[in-house]
Amino acid sequence: MTGQTKSAGGGAGVLFAIGAYLWWAFVTPLYFKVFKEVPVVELVIWRVMSGLPLLFALLVYRKKIKECFGALKDKKTFLLLLASTFFISVNWIVYVISVVTDRLLDSSLGYYINPLVTVAFGFLFLGERLHRLQKVAVGIALVGVLFLTVAQGSLPWISISLPCTFAMYGLLRKIMGVGSIEGLTVEMMFTLPICVVLQWWLFSTESAEIVAGNSFITIGLLLGGIVTIVPLLLFASGASRLKLSTLGILQYIAPTGQLLLAIVIFKEDFTTNRAIVFGLIWLAVALYSFDAWRTSTLTAEPLAE
pLDDT-derived band at 301 (thresholds 50, 70, 90) equals very low
Question: Do residues 216 and 101 touch, judged by C-beta distance below 8 A?
Answer: no
The 10s digit of each residue's pLDDT in 119-153 is: 899 888 888 888 899 899 999 999 999 999 999 88
Please tell me the distance from the alpha carbon of residue 23 to that of residue 17, in angstroms, as a whole number.
10
The 10s digit of each residue's pLDDT in 37-66 is: 999 999 999 999 999 999 999 999 988 888
The 10s digit of each residue's pLDDT in 159-214 is: 999 999 999 998 898 888 788 888 899 999 999 999 999 999 999 988 889 887 78
Q: What is the pTM of this model?
A: 0.89
Handedness of CA 82, 45, 19, 277 (dihedral sign): negative
- Given its phi and psi angles, is residue 63 left (phi above 0), alpha (psi -120 to 50 degrees) or beta? left
pLDDT at position 291, please?
85
pLDDT-derived band at 10 (thresholds 50, 70, 90) equals low
pLDDT at position 204, please?
92
Q: What is the DSSP string of 273-293?
A: HHHHHHHHHHHHHHHHHHHHH
Please tell me the distance from the alpha carbon of residue 188 to that of residue 185, in angstroms, as a whole number.
5
> Interior CA angle at 232 toward 189 and 171, to 5°?
75
Higher pLDDT, 296 or 115: 115
Kindly give the residue spans of alpha helices, DSSP state H, lying in the chain: 2-22, 28-34, 40-49, 52-61, 65-70, 75-100, 104-126, 132-152, 157-176, 180-204, 209-212, 215-222, 224-239, 244-250, 253-260, 272-299
266 secondary structure, DSSP code: S
